[in-house]
């Protein structure tokens, strides 16, 4: 690779000869003197048409480019004028500059990139949030992390896990933005809808299935049907697993429970039906949920009557989940990443460094810099 090719790459110029590079110590700037290839010279800067030359314009010009390491960079070149049949006498085109700019394209690109991402862009379009707490240090040190539910990005993180911590976030967000948020704490966000994580709801039912199973096994023992009890004992994983994850053998087990243990099979179906409620979601999910509650109450399984009662106390939040299809799965994924970060953060004196790293890596910055492929 030739030297000039390297320099063209460094200064972000094409169709150009880099004639000389100097460090101007007075201004502490690197100045690259460049010259366009002759087939690129004398083109109109508005339409890129090859035009007859006019004059030297205001002579040599400089444009500021992105810094090179810690040094500022300027490109210097002739800026003659051409006479375009359509645009009249205009400055000749130089490919690394947009017309009338004192900065190179790369420099402008970099500024635009910073402007886009450095501001509070992370809260733009925020509608649904998930809030999680994470321990980042031994001895009850917590961060409260707010995640954009739609993108999975970290929107904000703060030290502590009290209501006041979260309050800081809402204060930063401002009243107008709070109105658009559809999750979390009602007192802080009057418009907020609290959602229930489907995973938790289904976990109640899964636990109930297990309790029913243990109870029926014990009943069988007590009534002297030890053999049947032994058979039922091996059913645990088959019953707790979701059907799509069951092995062929486990599916056979569930089928045999259907024949031999009606109560346990009902419990299994109730759990599966509750899963279905969230799978379907929306209005259909709400209808299924109403049917599920009736079925659970009628089931004569005290474990499921209890689950039904809990579901009813949380019904509003569950209905919100169905309506807005929320689950904490996204913020959980972010939490997994945070836990990895925190493992390396035990040496940090303050949580700020961790917060900064977390928001940088999970804040959704799509870092494309000049000279890098998107």
Measured from the CB atom, the residue of 50 and 309 that comes closer to Zn ion is 50
DSSP, collapsed to helix, strand or coil, labels residue 42 as: coil
φ, ψ at 279 (rounded to 5°): -65, -40
Under 8 Å between Cβ of 75 and 68: no
Measured from the CB atom, the residue of 29 and 87 that comes closer to Zn ion is 87
Interacting positions 13-72 with Zn ion (CB under 5 A): 44, 46-47
- Shortest Cβ 85–Zn ion spacing (Å): 7
SS3 content of the chain, % helix, strand, coil (to 5): 50, 20, 30
Tally of CB atoms within 10 A around 41: 17
Between CA 146 and CA 150, with CA 149 as vertex, the angle to 5 degrees is 140
Residues in the interface with Zn ion (CB under 5 A) total 6
Structure tokens given for 252:
């056979």
Measured from the CB atom, the residue of 84 and 173 that comes closer to Zn ion is 84
Interacting positions 70-109 with Zn ion (CB under 5 A): 84, 86-87
Distance between CA atoms of 267 and 310, rounded to whole angstroms? 16
List the alpha helices (DSSP H) in 21-162.
105-118
Distance between CA atoms of 340 and 166, rounded to whole angstroms? 23
- Shortest Cβ 81–Zn ion spacing (Å): 12
Measured from the CB atom, the residue of 29 and 49 that comes closer to Zn ion is 49
Under 8 Å between Cβ of 187 and 199: no
Q: Which helix (H) or strand (E) holds 23?
A: strand 16-24
Measured from the CB atom, the residue of 93 and 202 that comes closer to Zn ion is 93
Between CA 2 and CA 50, with CA 6 as vertex, the angle to 5 degrees is 90
- Shortest Cβ 45–Zn ion spacing (Å): 8
Contact flag: residue 150 with Zn ion (CB under 5 A): no
Measured from the CB atom, the residue of 22 and 86 that comes closer to Zn ion is 86
Q: Which helix (H) or strand (E) holds 137?
A: strand 129-137
Instruction: Build a one-symbol-per-residue string for 235-264: x at contacts with Zn ion by CB under 5 A, - elsewhere.
Output: ------------------------------
φ, ψ at 43 (rounded to 5°): -110, 150
Structure tokens given for 87:
């645009």
Alpha carbon 30 to chain centroid, angstroms: 39
Measured from the CB atom, the residue of 47 and 284 that comes closer to Zn ion is 47
- Shortest Cβ 82–Zn ion spacing (Å): 8
Tell me the CA end-to-end span of the chain in Å, nearest whole number.
24
- Shortest Cβ 87–Zn ion spacing (Å): 4
- Shortest Cβ 42–Zn ion spacing (Å): 11
Measured from the CB atom, the residue of 80 and 281 that comes closer to Zn ion is 80
Nearest residue to Zn ion, scored by beta-carbon proximity: 44
- Shortest Cβ 47–Zn ion spacing (Å): 3
Measured from the CB atom, the residue of 51 and 345 that comes closer to Zn ion is 51
- Shortest Cβ 52–Zn ion spacing (Å): 12
Residue listed under structure tokens 């980042």:
136
DSSP, collapsed to helix, strand or coil, labels residue 328 as: coil
Under 8 Å between Cβ of 136 and 351: yes
Distance between CA atoms of 160 and 153, rounded to whole angstroms? 20
Measured from the CB atom, the residue of 18 and 84 that comes closer to Zn ion is 84
Structure tokens given for 62:
């400089």
- Shortest Cβ 66–Zn ion spacing (Å): 29
- Shortest Cβ 92–Zn ion spacing (Å): 10
Interacting positions 310-369 with Zn ion (CB under 5 A): none
Q: Where along the sequence are the contacts to Zn ion (CB under 5 A)? A: 44, 46-47, 84, 86-87
């Amino acid at each position: 690779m030739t030297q000039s090719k390297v320099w063209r790459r460094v200064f972000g110029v094409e169709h150009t000869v880099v004639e000389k590079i100097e460090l101007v110590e007075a201004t502490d700037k690197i100045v690259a003197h460049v010259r366009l290839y002759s087939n690129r010279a004398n083109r109109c800067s508005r339409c890129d048409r090859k035009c007859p030359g006019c004059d030297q314009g205001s002579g040599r010009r400089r444009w500021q480019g992105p810094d090179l390491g810690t040094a500022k960079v300027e490109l210097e070149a002739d800026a003659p004028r051409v006479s375009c049949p359509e645009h009249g006498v205009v400055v000749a085109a130089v490919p690394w500059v947009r017309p009338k700019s004192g900065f190179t394209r790369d420099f402008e690109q970099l500024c635009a990139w910073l402007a886009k991402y450095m501001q509070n862009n992370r809260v733009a379009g925020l509608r649904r949030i998930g809030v999680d707490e994470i321990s980042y240090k031994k001895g009850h040190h917590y961060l409260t992390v707010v995640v954009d539910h739609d993108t999975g990005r970290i929107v904000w993180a703060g030290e502590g896990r009290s209501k006041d911590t979260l309050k800081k976030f809402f204060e930063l967000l401002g009243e107008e933005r709070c109105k658009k948020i559809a999750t979390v704490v009602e007192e802080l966000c009057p418009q907020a809808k609290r959602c229930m994580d489907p995973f938790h709801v289904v976990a109640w039912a899964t636990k109930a299935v297990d309790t029913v199973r243990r109870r029926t096994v014990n009943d069988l023992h007590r009534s002297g049907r030890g053999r049947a009890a032994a058979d039922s004992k091996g059913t645990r994983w088959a019953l707790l697993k979701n059907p799509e994850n069951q092995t062929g053998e486990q599916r056979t087990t569930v089928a045999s429970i259907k024949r031999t243990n009606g109560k346990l099979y009902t419990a299994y179906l109730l759990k599966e039906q509750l899963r279905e409620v969230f799978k379907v979601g929306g209005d259909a999910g709400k209808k299924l949920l109403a049917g599920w509650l009736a079925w659970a109450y009628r089931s004569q399984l005290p474990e499921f009557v209890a689950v039904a009662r809990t579901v009813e106390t949380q019904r509003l939040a569950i209905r919100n989940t169905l309506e807005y299809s929320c689950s904490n799965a996204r913020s959980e994924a972010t939490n997994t990443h945070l836990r990895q970060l925190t493992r390396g953060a035990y040496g940090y004196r303050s949580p700020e460094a961790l917060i900064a790293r977390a928001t940088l890596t999970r804040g959704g910055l799509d870092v494309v810099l000049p000279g890098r492929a998107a």
